[in-house]
């Protein structure tokens, strides 16, 4: 006669649900850290502008240092991207770099022996740095989560 296996936990048990949530959160956190790392590496530190369609250049490194990730428990997902900084009147700098758009820059002009600063509207072509990384790593997402659940 075969002995029946004794099952201690069911999948609807709150303890099992908490364990699975904790392990899935660990996998999503690892995925978020990987996306952030690849996005940071794609932003090159140099003194000239990047070509449209390529990740942006960063003279000061501010954009690279403003990339973060966080687990959102309400949706059980991870959010990866730059913190918002820029003009309160319009699009933010990372948003303009990712998708393109209009921005204003300061231009120095000499008039009558005086140096004046003027504001000039410019169109910025997209220089995506988050979406290409996500597209590259998205097929690996199930492995990040599945590798944590035992």
pLDDT in tens, 7-50: 454 556 677 667 767 888 888 888 999 999 999 999 988 888 89
The single residue listed with the structure tokens 């990047």 is 50
Residue 2 lies in a domain: no
| Domain count for the chain | 1
Tell me if 3 is assigned to some domain: no
Q: Where do runs of H (alpha helix) occur along the chain?
A: 14-42, 62-65, 93-99, 131-137, 141-146
CB neighbours (10 Å) of residue 39? 25
Greatest Cα pair distance, the chain, in angstroms, is 104
In 3D space, the residue among 149, 136, 148 whose CA is nearest the CA of residue 34 turns out to be: 136
Beta carbons of 45 and 54 less than 8 angstroms apart? no
Quote the tokens at residue 127. 């220089």
Q: Is residue 58 part of a domain?
A: yes
Cite the beta strand spans of the chain per DSSP E: 67-72, 77-82, 101-111, 114-124
Mean pLDDT score of the chain, rounded to an integer?
81
Contact 31, 147 (CB under 8 A): no
Q: Residue 66 sits in which domain range?
A: 14-145
The answer to whether position 41 is within a domain reads: yes
For 40-90, write each residue's pLDDT tens digit.
999 988 888 899 999 999 888 888 888 898 888 888 888 888 887 554 556
Q: Examine residue 5 and state whether it is found in any structural domain, yes or no.
A: no
Nearest by Cα to 79 from 142, 47, 35: 35
Over the stretch 90-127, which tens digit does the pLDDT of each residue have? 668 888 888 998 888 888 888 888 888 888 898 999 99
Decide if 20 is inside a domain.
Answer: yes
Q: Give the model's pLDDT for residue 10.
A: 53
In a domain, 150, yes or no: no
Residue 126 lies in a domain: yes
């Amino acid at each position: 006669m075969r002995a029946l296996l004794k099952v201690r936990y069911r999948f609807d048990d709150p303890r099992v649900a908490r364990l699975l949530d904790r392990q899935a959160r660990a996998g999503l956190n690892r995925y978020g850290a990987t996306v952030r790392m690849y996005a940071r590496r794609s932003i090159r530190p140099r003194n000239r502008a990047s070509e449209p369609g390529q990740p942006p250049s960063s003279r000061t490194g501010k954009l690279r240092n403003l990339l973060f990730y966080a687990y959102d428990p309400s949706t059980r997902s991870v959010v990866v991207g730059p913190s918002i900084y820029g003009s309160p009147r319009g699009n933010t700098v990372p948003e303009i770099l990712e998708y393109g758009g209009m921005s204003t820059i300061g231009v120095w002009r000499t008039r009558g022996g005086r140096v004046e600063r003027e504001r000039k509207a410019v169109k910025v072509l997209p220089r995506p740095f988050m979406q290409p990384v996500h597209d590259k790593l998205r097929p690996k997402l199930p492995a990040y989560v599945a590798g944590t659940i035992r």
